[in-house]
């Protein structure tokens, strides 16, 4: 499969991996938008959250969100606040067709974001 995130999850291409288990991988974004910017992905290829909202993936999506919270603790941004974002489709800014959550923190987050 040509998906860059699948290759990162399989450790076929280098990335700054900060978390890895049988279901998920987390790594630092190569173009960070905040002092802490980590992507959390399922190791299984799913195009977006829209494809993962059924009963088949409830456990996986819950696990990914738990990993997001664990990353916030690990990176010491949980206490001051952080943002978790997923984009669905090109118009929303999704640039890689593999479900991923952005964990952003280390600076004030403004609203609206885009």
If you write DSSP's letter for every residue of 80-101 in order, what string do you get? T-EEEE---SGGGT--SSS--E
Dihedral sign (CA 15, 20, 24, 28): negative
Return mean pLDDT, the chain.
Answer: 95
Tell me whether residue 63 is one of the annotated catalytic residues. Answer: no
- The CATH number of 4-105, from 3.40.50.720, 3.40.190.10, 3.30.428.10, 3.30.565.10, is 3.30.428.10
- Res 114: pLDDT: 59
Helix locations, 17-94, DSSP H? 58-74
What is the rounded distance in angstroms from the CA atom of residue 66 to the CA atom of residue 22?
14
Reference 64, options 46, 81, 80, 78; nearest CA is 46
Which of the residues 37, 57, 98, 100 is marked catalytic? Answer: 100
Give residue-wise pLDDT tens across range 17-33.
Answer: 999 999 999 999 999 99
């Amino acid at each position: 499969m040509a998906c860059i995130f699948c290759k990162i999850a399989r450790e076929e291409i280098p990335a700054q991996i900060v978390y890895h288990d049988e279901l998920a991988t987390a790594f630092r974004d190569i173009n960070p938008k905040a002092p802490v910017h980590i992507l959390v992905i399922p190791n299984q290829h799913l195009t977006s959250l829209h494809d993962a909202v059924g009963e088949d993936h409830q456990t996986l999506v819950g696990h990914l969100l738990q990993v997001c919270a664990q990353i916030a603790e690990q990176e010491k941004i949980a206490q001051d606040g952080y943002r978790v974002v997923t984009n669905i489709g090109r118009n929303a800014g999704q640039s890689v067709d593999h479900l991923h959550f952005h964990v952003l923190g280390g600076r004030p987050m403004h609203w609206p974001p885009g």
